[in-house]
Amino acid sequence: MGRDVIIACDFSSKEETLAFLDKFEGKKPFVKIGMELFYAEGPEIVREIKNRGHKIFLDLKLHDIPNTVKKAMSVLSRLDVDMVNLHAAGARPMMEAAIEGLTRDDGTRPMLIAVTQLTSTDQETMERDLMIKEPIDRVVMHYASNARESGLDGVVCSPLEAEKVHSVCGDDFVTVTPGVRFADGDKGDQKRVMTPAEAKGIGSDYIVVGRPITASADPVSAYERCVKEFVS
Ligand code: C5P
């Protein structure tokens, strides 16, 4: 498993998504399909993009009772996606059930990644709304350890947390990091950002890049620039 750039295909329709991917001609970037596109187009969009030869991170962030998550994961596994995720807040029995559901008869399964605390949750929100009083970075590392002990492959985290996740959970525990911007680019609504080269430097395994590629006048060059800075 090597480092890779995952393009966040945050589009609302199949037409828009396929028109975007058509620009890549022979190239087959790893893509992330999120809730908006999946709920709009259903599993067919996953099959279509997979048939075109792309790897897919299906970002649906499951969180329910273990039995429900297990059954849902088994359906997602049959879609032949490469990476899926869940909320570590669902706790270890749910994460273990997710692994069971994902594992195919031949023993293979998509990578399973946990969301720890959403980056939209800060210390104040966590204390007030979730009644969790511990420092947020301890909570993030605890959730990451739970994910590791439940057999998951890694976590989605801020690039600023990736080094610590590796030191707590091991270098082979995968970090998938959004919040990536070019040094000369627009930050948009992301607050804590890193360039692809910096993300490589701190040991991110996968970067998830949306608007710096999707909103670029030349998405293919922007993607290639990410690959050049992050992978090569
Ligand atoms: O356009 P941009 O590069 O900001 O897109 C980043 C992608 O990563 C979006 O799909 C966003 O939902 C996702 N993401 C994030 N921060 C997280 C988790 C996911 O930006 N903590």
Q: What is the pLDDT along the chain (232 residues), one digit of tens a residue?
A: 689 999 999 999 999 999 999 999 989 999 999 999 999 999 999 999 999 999 999 999 999 999 999 999 999 999 999 999 999 999 999 999 999 999 999 999 999 999 999 988 899 999 999 999 999 999 999 999 999 999 999 999 988 899 999 999 999 999 999 999 999 988 888 777 899 999 999 999 999 999 999 999 999 999 999 999 999 8
Beta-carbon neighbour count of residue 47 at 10 Å? 13
* Ligand 1 pocket check for 161: Cβ under 6 Å: no
* Ligand 1 pocket check for 110: Cβ under 6 Å: no
Q: At 198, which helix (H) or strand (E)?
A: helix 196-201
Name the pTM for this structure: 0.96
Ligand 1 centre from 59 Cα, in Å?
Answer: 10
133 is catalytic: no
Is 93 strand, coil or helix? helix
What does the pLDDT read at residue 159? 86
The protein residue whose alpha carbon is closest to atom 13 in ligand 1 is: 178
> By the 8 A CB rule, do 141 and 165 touch?
yes
* Ligand 1 pocket check for 72: Cβ under 6 Å: no
Task: Please give the residue range of the domain that contains residue 177.
Answer: 4-230
Pairing state between β 30-34 and 206-209: unpaired
Ligand 1 centre from 180 Cα, in Å?
Answer: 9
What does the pLDDT read at residue 1? 60
Q: What distance in Å separates the CA atoms of residue 202 and residue 163, rounded to the nearest whole number?
A: 6
* Ligand 1 pocket check for 156: Cβ under 6 Å: yes
Both tokens assigned to 70: 């297990």
CATH code, 141: 3.20.20.70
* Closest alpha carbon to 28 in 2, 47, 56: 56
How is residue 7 annotated by DSSP? Answer: E
Instruction: Pick the catalytic residue from 14, 27, 50, 61.
Output: 61
Q: How many domains does the chain have?
A: 1
Pairing state between β 83-87 and 154-156: unpaired
The protein residue whose alpha carbon is closest to atom 3 in ligand 1 is: 210
Q: Which ligand 1 atom sits closest to the C-alpha of 215?
A: 1
Beta-carbon neighbour count of residue 126 at 10 Å? 18
What does the pLDDT read at residue 186? 84
> By the 8 A CB rule, do 165 and 153 touch?
no
Both tokens assigned to 39: 């709920």
Q: What distance in Å separates the CA atoms of residue 75 and residue 71, rounded to the nearest whole number?
A: 7
